[in-house]
Amino acid sequence: MLDELFQTGGNLAAYDDIFCGSDYLDEVLAARIKSGDMVLLFSIDGAQLYQSKASDTWIYIWVVLDHAPDCRYKKKHVLPGGFIPGPNPPKVVDSFLFPGIHHLSAIQNKGLKIWDAQWNNGFISKVFLLVACADVLGMASLSGLVGHHGKYGCRLYCALPGWHKENLPQYYPARLKPENYAIHGCDHDDYPVDQIIAMANGSERYKQHLKYVEQSPNKTQYTKRRRATGICKATILSGLSRRLQIPWLFSVDIMHLPALNIPDLLIGLWRGTLDCDRHDNRSSWTWAVLVGRVWKEHGAEIARCTPHLPGSFDRSPCNPAEKMNSGYKAWEWLLYLYGLAPALLFGILPLQYWQNYCRLVFAVRIIYQEKITKEQLVATHLVLNTFADEFEQLYYQRNPTRIHFCRPAIHTLRHLASEVTRMSPVICCSQWTLERTIGNLGEEVKQHSNPFVNLSQHGLC
């Protein structure tokens, strides 16, 4: 890969693994990652062990990326790192992560002695943490950033400021300024699209802002500086000596974004079930067409597609009109929204909304590939920016009462193509591995009188 980069002036023809990312290659060129140094992925998420009772358990895992892609995500190679028992969610996640992070820090500082039986010699591996994954809620706890409700709520810490409704605290990362909008502190103009992904100085900006927050003389100033910078505290991962720079360490969540967050938004708009401001009127929502008989017939069409789907597609989507509120799975959403719906919504959605939606489908299908060519990546970047801008023009329409349509999920789409060049195909560092691990461990819980101890013992083994 390095030879190809030198010959082409820094361009790869295709991206097909985590080691194609520019961040990893930069660390290799700077000799911060050397031969024999293992590279890790960290992933954390919460899980409900039981549907009918409180059982909020958090689990984190380590994935050794040096294994080949066709085996590194399998059960025997995924290493459970720790368990935060329920039934209530943890108040201070860092206190539970500390033992595992401390252990990793010791290995990084002293090195891990390994015997290589093939070459009959020993060497010392200094483990490097390349990427940390979490969903929206978990990432706020892990990264120390304000989370998706903040004025600077992007998990990649880009400089796009959000807007908020009058007297309400939550911000929304729309690029286009609302009309007749004059709320103090949010009086910036349309944000240039090219500056959203221009994050070359992001790490230095993060360090300066973190220092600014940490030097707050009192609680009032801390609150103001937290809002102005988007930082609550330093992440516990900053204590590691061998890691990617913050905030580059934190990845986009390619599982929840297109498979749960985007469907929740689009279906809510098309069904007319999304929250409506008291100064707005659902009767003016020309896109809300999946209602009444149309919605029921559409759901029945989805169900009738099941016999025609290959068995390799795994779980086929159920009738969304009947099952959507009772545990529609992420995999069902993917097959439904990016496989079947583009054809089945043609002629139902008004043409301009359908065309905008098809742009999203085109891009997500490419982003989910294991191998992405340079040409596909360029096309995806253009299409996703076009989709996001059209989405704001078609649905939000610069109307301050509809600014809550511009959820962080729409903004994050703009980063996906650049994240492939930086971090490799994002499917290589997703939450899918942890979700499968949670399912495996949950199935092994047999002692339901004390499930958390039972769960941790399985992980220990």
Task: Check residue 320 and give its pLDDT.
Answer: 93
When pLDDT is averaged across residues 103-121 and rounded to a whole number, the result is 93
Residue with tokens 């297109």: 258
Q: What are the residue ranges of helices labelled H in 230-319? A: 256, 262-271, 292-304
Give the DSSP H or E segment for 458.
helix 451-460
Q: How do residues 407-431 score in pLDDT, each as one tens digit?
A: 999 999 999 999 999 988 999 999 9
Task: Check residue 243 and give its pLDDT.
Answer: 96
Indicate whether 191 pLDDT > 60. yes
Q: Which is nearest to 146 in space by CA: 225, 212, 56, 262?
A: 225
Q: Angle, to 10 degrees, between the axis of helix 351-367 and the axis of helix 374-391?
A: 140
CA distance 253 to 270: 24
When pLDDT is averaged across residues 271-280 and rounded to a whole number, the result is 94
pLDDT band at 167 (very low <50, low <70, confident <90, very high): confident
Q: Which residues pair with 112 in a beta bridge?
A: 125
- The rounded percent of the chain whose pLDDT value lies above 90 is 71
CA distance 380 to 20: 18
Side chain identity, residue 329: K
Task: Check residue 237 and give its pLDDT.
Answer: 96
Q: Which is nearest to 13 in space by CA: 363, 364, 378, 362?
A: 378
Q: Name the more confident of 186 and 20.
A: 20
When pLDDT is averaged across residues 83-101 and rounded to a whole number, the result is 90
3-state secondary structure of 349: strand
Indicate whether 327 pLDDT > 80. no
Q: How do residues 334-344 score in pLDDT, each as one tens digit?
A: 999 999 999 99
Indicate whether 197 pLDDT > 80. no
When pLDDT is averaged across residues 268-286 and rounded to a whole number, the result is 95
Work out the number of other CB atoms within 10 angstroms of the CB of residue 184: 5
* Residues 153/173, Cβ–Cβ less than 8 Å: yes
- The rounded percent of the chain whose pLDDT value lies above 70 is 99
3-state secondary structure of 64: strand
Provide the mean pLDDT of the chain. 91
Indicate whether 328 pLDDT > 90. no
Q: Name the more confident of 197 and 445.
A: 445
Q: How do residues 252-269 score in pLDDT, each as one tens digit?
A: 999 999 999 999 999 999
CA distance 158 to 192: 12
pLDDT band at 181 (very low <50, low <70, confident <90, very high): confident
Indicate whether 200 pLDDT > 60. no
CA distances from 388 to 57, 405, 407 (A): 35, 12, 11
When pLDDT is averaged across residues 284-305 and rounded to a whole number, the result is 96
Task: Check residue 410 and give its pLDDT.
Answer: 96
Contacts of 75 (CB under 8 A, 6+ apart): 436, 437, 440
Indicate whether 52 pLDDT > 90. no
Task: Check residue 183 and give its pLDDT.
Answer: 82
Q: Write down the domain spans for the chain.
A: 33-135+431-461, 256-428
pLDDT band at 60 (very low <50, low <70, confident <90, very high): very high
- The model carries a pTM of 0.92
Eight-class DSSP state of 239:
G
Task: Check residue 312 and give its pLDDT.
Answer: 84
When pLDDT is averaged across residues 350-373 and rounded to a whole number, the result is 97
Residue with tokens 């974004």: 257
Work out the number of other CB atoms within 10 angstroms of the CB of residue 358: 17
Give the DSSP H or E segment for 451.
helix 451-460
When pLDDT is averaged across residues 310-317 and rounded to a whole number, the result is 86
Contacts of 330 (CB under 8 A, 6+ apart): 255, 256, 259, 260, 435
CA distances from 327 to 52, 281, 317, 339 (A): 13, 30, 11, 19
* Residues 205/152, Cβ–Cβ less than 8 Å: no
Task: Check residue 201 and give its pLDDT.
Answer: 61
Task: Check residue 443 and give its pLDDT.
Answer: 85
